[in-house]
């Protein structure tokens, strides 16, 4: 039996409480009978004494369902039993169990009231039965108080464990929500980038078909269609990877700087990576990758035809810098109905970095991010 689980578990939620408590009551009744026959601290029980002693154990079967009524029923049997000076030790285990149940399931005010009441009744009976036994008075009172304190301590411990478990569940739910948000962002970035490139390549193919049908540029048309096929293949692969991560574990492989060449190749941008042998944390690498992906998506969607796109990723001290430049005209400032720039700022903020986006002085548009590298290690 797991005693730690028994102490921390809510007694009201235990399986088969009446059956378990009835079995315990039977054991306590047998113990009380043995004590009544072997211990000499009062008169041997007669028929009335045995009836009161055994009747006091019957309510224990419902001690967790109704702690206070059970205690009152036991007091109704135990008080005349002790008043008639029968073997006093016999009903003590069952009485202490009832007191413990009341203290471990009730509020402090009720526990205090029960303690004062039971102590008063006990002392009153003891004064009438053995008025000269002061040590016995103190011993009985001490047992009552100790059992109530023990029950109250168990109740407080259960509340503490329940609070810890609740906080852990809330933290787990928060992490699940964050992971869902991360996956949603990844899917948004992936699909937005892929669909935008497909739209541009489709426009090129349509333009080739309708611009001059008599002089059809088949090579340009095939190139545009091949680009659509390649973009669809890459998008399908990344979506499959993301779904595999969802099936396997909340923490999955993240895109990193090593994936940038494949990313920028489809957009025709110039890529420069100046990180050397630095080890970039996975979260920072994923943030940089998604920032570049969203920046290229916006550049392809809003940039001028033939605009020069460049991606520069470098390392300055303990900061990873990401700069995506669109050499065309700025697409009407930083406005728009989407969440691209807001999402990129949130990406940078998630790893403690910053991001700025806006028109360049010499024309065009630029996205610049600075992502700190905590505890950076460089291999030699």
pLDDT tens per residue across span 55-109: 988 888 888 888 888 888 888 888 888 888 788 788 888 888 888 888 888 787 8
In the DSSP assignment, the letter for residue 320 is E
- Return phi, psi of residue 10, to 5°: -65, 120
Residue 336: pLDDT band with limits 50, 70, 90: very low
Q: Which two tokens mark 260? A: 């940038």
Please give the Cα distance from 64 to 77 (Å, whole number).
19
Burial of 128 (C-beta count, 10 Å sphere; 0-12/13-18/19+): exposed
Please give the Cα distance from 167 to 173 (Å, whole number).
10
Please give the Cα distance from 284 to 280 (Å, whole number).
7
- For residue 287, pLDDT beyond 80: yes
- For residue 330, pLDDT beyond 50: no
Please give the Cα distance from 42 to 56 (Å, whole number).
18
CB environment 272-305: b (16+ within 10 A), e (fewer): eeebeeeebbebbbbbbbbbbbbbbbbbbbbbbe
Q: Are strands 319-326 and 309-316 parallel, antiparallel or unpaired?
A: antiparallel
CA angle 281/285/307 to nearest 5° reads 160
What region, left, alpha or beta, does residue 375 occupy, with left being phi > 0 and alpha being psi -120 to 50 degrees? Answer: left
In 221-353, DSSP assigns E strands to 270-274, 309-316, 319-326
Please give the Cα distance from 257 to 349 (Å, whole number).
18
Q: Is 162 helix (H, G, I), strand (E, B) or coil?
A: helix
- For residue 228, pLDDT beyond 60: yes
Average pLDDT of span 119-130: 70
Percent of the chain with pLDDT over 70: 74
CA angle 162/167/168 to nearest 5° reads 95
pTM, rounded to two decimals: 0.44
Residue 249: pLDDT band with limits 50, 70, 90: very low
- For residue 279, pLDDT beyond 70: yes
Of 282, 313, 322, 293, the C-alpha closest to 235 is 293
What are the beta bridge partners of residue 326?
A: 309, 365
What pLDDT is stored for residue 163 in this prediction? 82
């Amino acid at each position: 039996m797991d005693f730690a689980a028994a102490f921390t578990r809510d007694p009201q939620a235990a399986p088969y409480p009446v059956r378990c408590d009835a079995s315990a009551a039977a054991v306590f009744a047998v113990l009380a009978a043995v004590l009544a026959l072997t211990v000499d601290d009062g008169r041997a029980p007669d028929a009335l004494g045995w009836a009161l002693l055994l009747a006091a154990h019957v309510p224990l079967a419902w001690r967790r369902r109704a702690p206070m009524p059970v205690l009152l029923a036991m007091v109704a049997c135990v008080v005349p039993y002790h008043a008639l000076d029968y073997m006093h030790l016999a009903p003590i285990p069952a009485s202490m169990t009832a007191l413990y149940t009341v203290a471990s399931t009730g509020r402090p005010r009720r526990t205090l009231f029960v303690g004062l009441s039971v102590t008063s009744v006990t002392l009153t009976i003891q004064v009438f039965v053995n008025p000269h036994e002061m040590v016995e008075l103190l011993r009985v009172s001490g047992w009552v108080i100790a059992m109530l304190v023990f029950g109250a301590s168990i109740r407080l411990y259960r509340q503490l464990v329940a609070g810890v478990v609740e906080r852990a569940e809330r933290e787990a739910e928060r992490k699940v929500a964050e992971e869902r948000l991360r996956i949603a962002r990844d899917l948004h970035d992936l699909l937005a980038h892929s669909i935008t490139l497909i739209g541009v390549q489709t426009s090129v193919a349509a333009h080739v078909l309708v611009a001059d049908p008599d002089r059809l540029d088949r090579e340009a048309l095939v190139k545009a269609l091949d680009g659509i096929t390649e973009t669809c293949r890459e998008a399908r692969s990344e979506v499959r990877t993301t779904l595999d991560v969802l099936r396997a574990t909340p923490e999955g492989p993240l895109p990193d700087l090593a994936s940038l060449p494949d990313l920028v190749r489809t957009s025709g941008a110039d890529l420069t990576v100046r990180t050397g042998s630095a080890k970039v944390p996975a979260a920072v690498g994923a943030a940089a990758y998604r920032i570049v992906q969203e920046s290229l998506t916006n550049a392809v969607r809003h940039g001028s035809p033939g605009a020069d796109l460049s991606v520069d990723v470098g390392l300055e001290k303990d900061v990873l810098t990401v700069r995506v430049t669109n050499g065309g005209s700025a697409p009407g400032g930083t406005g728009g109905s989407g969440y691209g720039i807001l999402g990129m700022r949130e990406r940078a903020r998630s790893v403690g970095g910053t991001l700025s986006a806006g028109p360049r002085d010499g024309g065009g548009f630029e996205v610049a991010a600075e992502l700190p590298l905590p505890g950076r290690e460089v291999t030699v």
